[in-house]
Structure 1
Amino acid sequence: MVTTLITVAVIAWLCQLVLGGWQIHRFNRAFDALCQRGRVGVGRSGGRFKPRVVIAIALDDNNRVCDSLMMRGLTVFARPMKIAALNGLPLQELEPGVIFPHDSLCQNALSLALKLKHG
């Protein structure tokens, strides 16, 4: 019985490692593509038991959003997705409370990404 539990725990741990590596690989590919588009700001919010949110925005030479990505979730199955609503917006018009009115985690992540762009 103990051997079975240990075996199941080891298999679950190995699955977590493999799937976590797969998630990181997908995020890195999406982030590399974003970095090719312009200057990039990244923000992350969330906690240990809340869904984490990562938002990255790329700005062109005119300080307009030319691309973006968001990844949110608690599991290794979270995928990076585009935020189409941000494309073409000038940096000055990016207001996290207006863009994500009911999502404080996304507001926080976008605020952090914008702080990096102002610096």
Structure 2
Amino acid sequence: MNIIVLGVIAIIAYIFQILLGMKQIKNFNTVYIRMKRKGKVAIGRRPGKIASGTILLLGVSDEGVIQEAEMMQGISVVARFKARPQFVGIDIHQLMESTILAKENKLTRQAAENAQKVYLAVEKGNYQETKPVSPLMNLGTQLSLMKHSIQTKFTKGRV
């Protein structure tokens, strides 16, 4: 009987997480579309598997000056975008040299560096987006590498 209760609780928690995740994606889309209507948007990511993740959206003018900035940072699905006015007015080409960025935490600096890198690559026409590997595919790759590693250890022992 207790296992059924635990199973029901796990299913409810999973559904709750899915709903909050969908709300977070809707928040991202709302902010992105609002910025995109005004001009170019540079997106900087610093994904977090266990630690906090960061997404930085920079609304950039045709001249390369940041007009609007919003950032989402956190480890949970309740994280939302917050305005970052300290980035407004900075030329994205000199973003990493900015004194404002030196005052930010490491995750924000990494996301800003990613945004600048992707923006410059798109500006030059050298950017090709790579599709992320699904967690299931990643698990398969890891298991395959582990199997190969074990086989290599056993064959070295026989020779």
Which letter does structure 2 place at the counterpart of 1:15?
Answer: F
Structure 1 length-normalised TM: 0.91
CA contact (8 A) 1:37 1:66 kept: no
Distance of 1:97 and 1:112 partners within structure 2: 15
Q: Would the aligned equivalents of 1:96 and 1:106 in 2 still touch at CA under 8 Å?
A: no
TM-score of the pair, normalised by structure 2: 0.69
Give 1 or 2: higher helix fraction: 2
Which residue of structure 1 lines up, in the alignment, with residue 61 of structure 2? 60
Computed over aligned residues only, the root mean square deviation of the Cα atoms, in angstroms, reads: 1.6
CA contact (8 A) 1:70 1:80 kept: yes
Question: 2:110 — aligned with what?
Answer: 108
In structure 2, do the counterparts of structure 1 residues 96 and 52 end up closer, same or farther at CA, with 3 Å as the change threshold?
A: farther
Residue 28 and residue 94 in structure 1: after superposition, are their counterparts in 2 closer, same or farther (change >3 A)?
same
Please list every run of 5 or more consecutive structure 1 residues that lacks an aligned counterpart in the other structure. Answer: none
- Which 4+ stretches in 1 moved above 6 angstroms? none
Return the alpha-carbon distance in structure 2 between the equivalents of residues 22 and 91 of structure 1. 30
TM superposition shift of 1:90? 2.0
Structure 1 residues 110 and 96: CA distance shift in structure 2, 3 A: farther
RCO higher in 1 or 2 (8 Å CA, sep ≥ 6)?
Answer: 1
1:17 is matched with which residue?
18
Partner SS state of residue 95, structure 1: helix
Q: Any unmatched runs of 5+ in structure 2?
A: 122-159
1:2 and 1:92 map into 2 onto residues whose CA distance is 57
Deviation at 1:68, TM superposition (A): 1.5
User: Are the aligned partners of 1:96 and 1:110 in contact in 2 as well (CA < 8 Å)?
Assistant: no
**3-state SS, counterpart of residue 93 of structure 1:** helix
What's the secondary structure of 2:83's corresponding residue? coil
Give the number of the structure whose alpha-carbon radius of gyration is greater. Answer: 2
> What is the percentage of aligned positions where both structures have the same residue?
24
Q: Deviations over 1:42-94 (max 9, x none)?
A: 11114211100001112112211111211000011100111101112222331
